Amino acid sequence: MPARVLLFTLLFAAPLVARADDLIVLLQQRNCPDCRLVDVDLVHADLRDADLQRAQLQRANLGQARLDGADLSGADLSFTSMQGASLRGTKLHGARLYGTDLRNADLTGAMLDPNALEEAHWSGAKGMQPQAQSHAALHNAGVGAAESDRWKQAENLFGLAISKQTDAAESWVARGIAREKLGKRQLAIQDFIYASNLYAKKGATSHAGQLQTAARSLQDKVNNAQNGNGVGSALLDGLLSTSQALLPLAMKLFMPAISF
């Protein structure tokens, strides 16, 4: 193999690795823009207000790290673990968050691009701004919570999905089911009726009718319970069957929007 070709292969085909001097600079000064920190272990590191603009942090472990006020604009955080990290007020504009683990992280006040968390893992994260997540991501996360019987979380996620796309009938149905599971039956009825109207406007008369029937059935069951008719297990069975019948409408997964 010619020497020039061999050199090109070594430079460009070899995997990226962290530079030791970059890590030393970061730990001593907390400022290291454009640093190469691939695969570094920074668990529990205190990097508050650090300048890490455009840093290469692919696959780094920043679990439980303190990154409040840090500048990670344009940084590559692909497959980086930031599980449980504190990112309060962190600048993340232009950061690549493909496969990034942000579960249970604190994102309060974090500055993110619209839909920035589309390809990240953020279950249990707090302080997230709705604009950082698409309707699809929020609805799909709600479906995941519902499938795990985490109905309160599902209600919140479907509510956020609705705030992103108010005409998405599936999200209204899904939130109605979550509310029914939580015993918020009047609110569930309202969601079912609203979803029915949305389907009717789209010409989906079958879905609209199904939801109107479900709303009436649920209202009848609520009235029976309030009147003390002693329906007992029959009432419970009826409530469960209402949710089961609507699940195919609600648990639809959406493909994330692709931007170029």
pLDDT digits (tens, 9 = 90+) for 215-236: 888 887 777 766 655 443 343 3
Distance between first and last Cα of the chain: 39
**Range of lowest pLDDT (3-7, 46-50, 245-249):** 3-7
Domain at 135-250: CATH architecture = Alpha Horseshoe (1.25)
The Cα 70–Cα 20 span in angstroms is 21
Biggest CA–CA distance in the chain, Å, is 90
Q: Give the pLDDT mean for 10-33.
A: 70
| 180 has pLDDT over 50 | yes
Please name the residues in contact with 144: beta carbons below 8 A apart, sequence gap of 6 or more.
Answer: 123
pLDDT of residue 245: 66
Contact 18, 41 (CB under 8 A): no
pLDDT of residue 13: 40
Query: What is the pLDDT confidence band of residue 129, given thresholds at 50, 70 and 90?
Result: confident
Q: Give the pLDDT mean for 208-215.
A: 89
pLDDT of residue 18: 61
Query: What is the pLDDT confidence band of residue 17, given thresholds at 50, 70 and 90?
Result: low
pLDDT of residue 252: 66
Output the DSSP codes for the chain. Answer: --HHHHHHHHHHTSPP---HHHHHHHHHHSB-TT-B-TT-B-TT-B-TT-B-TT-B-TT-B-TT-B-TT-B-TT-B-TT-B-TT-B-TT-B-TT-B-TT-B-TT-B-TT-B--TTTTTTSB-TT-BS--GGGS-HHHHHHHHHHHHHTT-HHHHHHHHHHHHHH-TT-HHHHHHHHHHHHHTT-HHHHHHHHHHHHHHHHHTT-HHHHHHHHHHHHHHHHHHHHHHTT---THHHHHHHHHHHHHHHHHHT---PPP---
Q: Give the pLDDT mean for 231-250.
A: 53
Please name the residues in contact with 51: beta carbons below 8 A apart, sequence gap of 6 or more.
Answer: 30, 31, 32, 33, 70, 71
pLDDT of residue 230: 45
Please name the residues in contact with 152: beta carbons below 8 A apart, sequence gap of 6 or more.
Answer: 178, 182
The Cα 158–Cα 187 span in angstroms is 14
Contact 157, 145 (CB under 8 A): yes
Q: Give the pLDDT mean for 117-141.
A: 82
| 163 has pLDDT over 60 | yes
pLDDT of residue 222: 72
CATH topology of domain 31-132: Pectate Lyase C-like (2.160.20)
Domain boundaries, the chain: 31-132, 135-250
What proportion of the chain, given as a percentage, has pLDDT over 90? 49
pLDDT digits (tens, 9 = 90+) for 24-62: 889 888 889 999 999 999 999 999 999 999 999 999 999
Higher pLDDT, 33 or 129: 33
Mean residue pLDDT of the chain comes to 82
| 12 has pLDDT over 90 | no
| 78 has pLDDT over 50 | yes
pTM over 0.85: no
Place of tokens 């709705």: 130
The Cα 77–Cα 40 span in angstroms is 12
Higher pLDDT, 127 or 74: 74
